[in-house]
């Protein structure tokens, strides 16, 4: 039996990426809480978080975004904030960014809503000028890009440099990655400064693949995105060929769906973005080859298209991460509600007393795949060993004729 080396404080990028890979493998195995594997996963996660916080400090959230997030989290309305601001008009003006927070407001909000004073003051938010670093083309994952056939192999006789190969790959697609302009549009829990070059390369390939689909896409009308549209999409999960039907359904309505495995080191489940001509794109990695993960990720990204995507906005999602971004929270809520309305869920036997029978009953009632219900039980019970036969492990890639990785 292989003996695992005891994890140590991370001192190098190589060690960091090694631990990231092991975290991914451990998560894929869905360890039982309290098991040695689960304990190791927790320890590695702490070490990785510590290294990222030290080397890539997280920017302090925007004060108003932090207030809005806490309002959504606690179900508060603007009138509920009057005690902290003094009057209704002040609440409206502050949330509209027309009036600055005063010391008294910050003190009241910190005590009443539990938001740190550092976040409310916004001391750590760097200026845009500090963010404007240029790209280092040599940091793109050229070996993996060559292995996937995205760029040709660089030989001793080649006249091109790595930088020229990558720049041509990007330029051929017509994406402008110059300076930090594109970096500032990246949002989501899968984005990390340590993996940004791999994410840039993956996004470029996704856009390239989406453009190959354009002649077969229907005309996109943003007005079609609605609760009923998402409900119709959710009920396609009921069918054996549901994932294929979902792609066909979205592309019929002008939304390109691309499946491209994530690059090494990126904890990426999916993305939502728009091409330069406005074509909406949903991209999936199938990082976890499970039906429950496929359906929730797909719905989460469509929710982003509906509610959050602007002309230059891109969401890169790791749906295992606990996000404090209110847009991610909203996309999660919309995805959950599209499959199982909260009122129905809280009253169902699948929630109160989960079993194969109660999951099957709710599945038939809502006309959605049982894997979606089992996946929700997993997440809310924080126990991924429950009903493993129901989540559709290994069922997605084979539907799309993709190699198991």
**Sequence-separated (6 or more) residues with CB below 8 Å from residue 64:** 94, 95, 97
Say what percent of the chain tops pLDDT 90: 40
What CA–CA distance (Å, rounded) separates 353 from 368? Answer: 19
What CA–CA distance (Å, rounded) separates 95 from 130? Answer: 26
What is the tens place of the pLDDT at every residue in 104-123?
788 788 888 888 776 776 54
Determine, yes or no, domain membership for 379.
no
**Sequence-separated (6 or more) residues with CB below 8 Å from residue 135:** 177, 178, 179, 197, 200
Statement to judge: residues 183 and 266 lie in one domain: yes
Categorize the per-residue pLDDT at 193 as very low, low, confident or very high, splitting at 50, 70 and 90. confident
Task: Tell which phi-psi region holds residue 125, choosing left (phi > 0), alpha (psi between -120 and 50) or beta.
Answer: beta
- What is the per-residue pLDDT for 219? 94
Between 353 and 131, the more confident residue is 353
- What is the per-residue pLDDT for 127? 35
Statement to judge: residues 296 and 312 lie in one domain: yes
Total domain count, the chain:
3
Asked if the model's pLDDT at residue 356 lies above 70, the reply is yes
Final residue of a structural domain among 82, 107, 125 = 125
Statement to judge: residues 23 and 97 lie in one domain: no
- Backbone phi, psi, residue 7, to 5°: -60, 145
- What is the per-residue pLDDT for 228? 93
Determine, yes or no, domain membership for 303.
yes
Categorize the per-residue pLDDT at 373 as very low, low, confident or very high, splitting at 50, 70 and 90. very high
What CA–CA distance (Å, rounded) separates 78 from 64? Answer: 13
What's the whole-model pTM score? 0.67
Asked if the model's pLDDT at residue 180 lies above 50, the reply is no
Determine, yes or no, domain membership for 7.
no
Q: Which of 68-77, 108-117, 152-161 has the lowest mean pLDDT?
A: 152-161
Asked if the model's pLDDT at residue 404 lies above 60, the reply is no
> Which position has the token pair 């039980």?
377
Statement to judge: residues 152 and 218 lie in one domain: yes
Statement to judge: residues 48 and 69 lie in one domain: no
Q: What is the CATH classification number for the domain harbouring 85?
A: 1.10.260.40
Statement to judge: residues 103 and 135 lie in one domain: no
From residue 101, alpha-carbon distances to 66, 68, 82, 152, 326 in Å are 13, 14, 13, 55, 20
**Sequence-separated (6 or more) residues with CB below 8 Å from residue 250:** 233, 257, 282, 302
Statement to judge: residues 249 and 138 lie in one domain: yes
Statement to judge: residues 112 and 139 lie in one domain: no
What is the tens place of the pLDDT at every residue in 291-315?
999 999 999 999 999 999 876 678 9
Determine, yes or no, domain membership for 105.
yes
- Report whether 206 contacts 311 (CB < 8 A): no
Beta strands in 204-261 (DSSP E): 256-259
Determine, yes or no, domain membership for 350.
no
What CA–CA distance (Å, rounded) separates 146 from 404? Answer: 20
Statement to judge: residues 134 and 114 lie in one domain: no
Categorize the per-residue pLDDT at 4 as very low, low, confident or very high, splitting at 50, 70 and 90. low
CA angle in degrees (0–180, nearest 5) for 172-174-180: 120
Q: Which of 41-50, 82-91, 328-337 has the lowest mean pLDDT?
A: 41-50
Final residue of a structural domain among 300, 318, 338 = 338
Encoded tokens for 194: 């340590």
Average pLDDT over residues 23-40: 76
> Which position has the token pair 């602007």?
310
Q: What DSSP designation does 395 have?
A: -
Determine, yes or no, domain membership for 27.
yes
Statement to judge: residues 120 and 260 lie in one domain: no
- What is the per-residue pLDDT for 230? 96
Q: 118-125 long-range CB contacts below 8 Å, 24 or more apart? A: 118/60, 119/60, 119/61, 119/63, 119/66, 120/63, 120/66, 120/67, 121/63, 122/60, 122/62, 122/63, 123/60, 124/57, 124/59, 124/60, 125/59, 125/60, 125/62
Pairing of strands 270-274, 280-284: antiparallel
Asked if the model's pLDDT at residue 203 lies above 60, the reply is yes
> Which residues span the domain enclosing 183?
130-338
Determine, yes or no, domain membership for 235.
yes
Pairing of strands 314-317, 270-274: antiparallel
Final residue of a structural domain among 338, 364, 390 = 338
Statement to judge: residues 73 and 156 lie in one domain: no
Determine, yes or no, domain membership for 209.
yes
Statement to judge: residues 36 and 135 lie in one domain: no
What CA–CA distance (Å, rounded) separates 346 from 144? Answer: 46
What is the tens place of the pLDDT at every residue in 242-257?
999 999 999 999 999 9
Question: Quick count: other Cβ atoms within 10 Å of Cβ 350?
Answer: 26
């Amino acid at each position: 039996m292989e003996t695992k080396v005891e994890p140590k404080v991370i001192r190098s990028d190589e060690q960091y990426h090694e631990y990231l890979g092991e975290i991914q493998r451990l998560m894929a195995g869905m360890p039982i809480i309290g098991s040695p594997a689960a304990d190791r996963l927790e320890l590695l996660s702490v070490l990785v978080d510590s290294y990222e916080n030290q080397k890539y400090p997280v920017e302090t959230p925007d004060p108003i975004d932090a207030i809005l997030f806490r309002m959504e989290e606690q179900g508060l309305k603007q009138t509920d904030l009057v005690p902290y601001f003094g009057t209704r008009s002040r609440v409206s003006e502050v949330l509209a960014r027309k009036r600055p927070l005063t010391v008294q407001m910050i003190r009241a909000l910190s005590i009443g809503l539990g938001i740190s004073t550092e976040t409310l003051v916004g001391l750590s938010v760097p200026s845009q000028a500090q963010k404007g670093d240029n790209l280092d083309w040599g940091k793109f994952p050229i070996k993996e890009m060559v292995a996937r056939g995205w760029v040709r192999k660089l030989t001793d006789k080649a006249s091109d440099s790595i930088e020229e190969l990558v720049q041509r790959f990007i330029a051929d697609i017509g994406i402008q990655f110059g300076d930090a302009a594109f970096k500032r549009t990246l949002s989501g829990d899968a984005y990390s400064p340590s993996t940004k070059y791999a994410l840039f390369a993956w996004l470029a390939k996704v856009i390239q693949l989406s453009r190959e689909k354009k002649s077969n896409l229907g005309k996109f009308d943003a007005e079609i995105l609605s609760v009923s549209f998402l409900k119709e999409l959710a009920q396609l999960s009921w069918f054996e060929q549901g994932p294929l039907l979902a792609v066909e359904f979205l592309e019929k309505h002008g939304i390109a769906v691309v499946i491209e495995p994530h690059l090494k080191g990126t904890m990426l489940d999916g993305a939502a973005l728009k091409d330069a001509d406005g074509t909406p794109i949903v991209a999936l990695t199938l990082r976890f080859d499970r039906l429950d993960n496929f359906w929730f990720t797909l719905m989460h990204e469509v929710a982003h298209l509906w509610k959050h995507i602007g002309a230059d906005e891109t969401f890169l999602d790791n749906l295992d991460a606990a996000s404090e971004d209110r847009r991610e929270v909203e996309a999660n809520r919309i995805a959950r509600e599209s499959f199982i309305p909260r009122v129905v869920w809280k009253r169902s036997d699948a929630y109160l007393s989960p079993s194969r029978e109660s999951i099957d009953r709710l599945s038939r009632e809502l006309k959605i795949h049982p894997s979606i219900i089992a996946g929700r039980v997993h997440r809310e019970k924080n126990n991924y060993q429950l009903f493993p036969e129901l989540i559709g492990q290994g069922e997605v890639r084979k539907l799309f004729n993709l190699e198991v990785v």
